[in-house]
Amino acid sequence: MNFLLARPRLMRTAFLFTVSLFALLACQWSGAGKSPKLSNSTANLPANTTSPSLAAPARASGFTADDFAKHIQALKSELNNKLPHDVAGNPEPKFSFVIQPPFVVIGDEAADVVQDHANNTVKWAVDRLKLDFFTEDPKDILDIWLFKDAASYEKHVALLFGEKPTTPFGYYSRARKALIMNIDTGGGTLVHEIVHPFIEANFPACPPWFNEGLGSLYEQCGDANGHIHGFTNWRLRGLQQAIRLKRVPSFADLTAHDSNAFYNDDKGVNYAQARYLCYYLQDKGLLVKFYKTFLARQKEDPSGYKTLQKILAEADMRRFKLKWETYVLALRQGYEVTVE
């Protein structure tokens, strides 16, 4: 039995958990608040194809099977050098490796569980993101490290990368060419972070509001007619409170934020506003059109603000903001589930 998310409807029953405005304002750089497990969205969706093995002859993402084999061997050497060893001289814990182009998925859970994450979250998301948005894969083989729980995540981030994670959920490290996850918090953060290297490869000049808005949109997501579809999530409650407190900036200000302003000045509200602007565009059937138009016009409109006006057909963006706020205040956390 597979549970597939249909189009969202307004429901009064909250799901999984909600957060206060304070928690939203305190969220980490990755934009990953307590992401829901995708048990009723991507995690249980059947994979269309199986993950290729090391011996797979087909090229994927510009890399051969031999490229992936060499990459995995280097990862195994790194683990051997950095992890403690058992009495037989084997590094522990044992990690499993799954090639899921353009990624290698590495996890310390059972091999079949790691394979399931690779097929039913990573491949599921990548296939749908590429269907609607992205034509280019990341230029490098990227690693997805899936640590089974908080203790494993914190321990191995320190052992392997020599750092302390700034978020308990997961993050994308451009420098390390890696997505590093506490998968026990759910697959939503993983899908969010998968967006970032694809944005990097396809839209390197993308401003932070759209990079994080699109990533955050898919923290809670499912399938709608074969396409990835974002649903209301934990950021909604805090955004609604911010709207009532008149703490939400204009869209001109949001889109003009550079990285410093977006990530440091009221970043919880910035993330939520960007997410639910993308949610609104999705709901109106305009999100993919906006992305493609913005990408084509990025040199003349680097912030995307003029493109946003054009796609929305809104001459008065202050008036639109009031309309959007009314729309957001009417949303409720929850989603429909159909059973097939």
Q: Is the pLDDT of residue 310 over 50?
A: yes
pLDDT band at 92 (very low <50, low <70, confident <90, very high): confident
User: Which is more confidently placed, 42 or 136?
Assistant: 136
pLDDT surpasses 90 at 266 = no
Termini Cα distance of the chain: 6
Convert the pLDDT of each residue in 12-45 to its tens digit. 223 333 333 333 333 333 333 333 334 333 333 3
Q: What is the pLDDT of residues 143-158, one digit of tens each?
A: 999 999 999 999 999 9
pLDDT beyond 60 at 327: yes
Q: Which of 6-10, 152-156, 314-318 has the lowest mean pLDDT?
A: 6-10
Percent of the chain past pLDDT 70, that is, above it, reads 80
Mean pLDDT of 244-256: 97
Please state whether the predicted TM-score (pTM) of the whole model is above 0.85. no
pLDDT band at 125 (very low <50, low <70, confident <90, very high): very high
Residue 274 above 90 pLDDT? yes
pLDDT for the residue 55: 31
pLDDT in tens, 181-206: 999 999 999 999 999 999 999 999 99
Q: Is 80 exceeded by the pLDDT of residue 337?
A: no
| 54 band by pLDDT with thresholds 50, 70 and 90 | very low
pLDDT at position 273 is: 98
Q: What is the pLDDT of residue 335?
A: 53
Arithmetic mean of pLDDT over the chain: 84
CA distance 41 to 6: 10
Q: Please give the pLDDT value at position 61.
A: 64
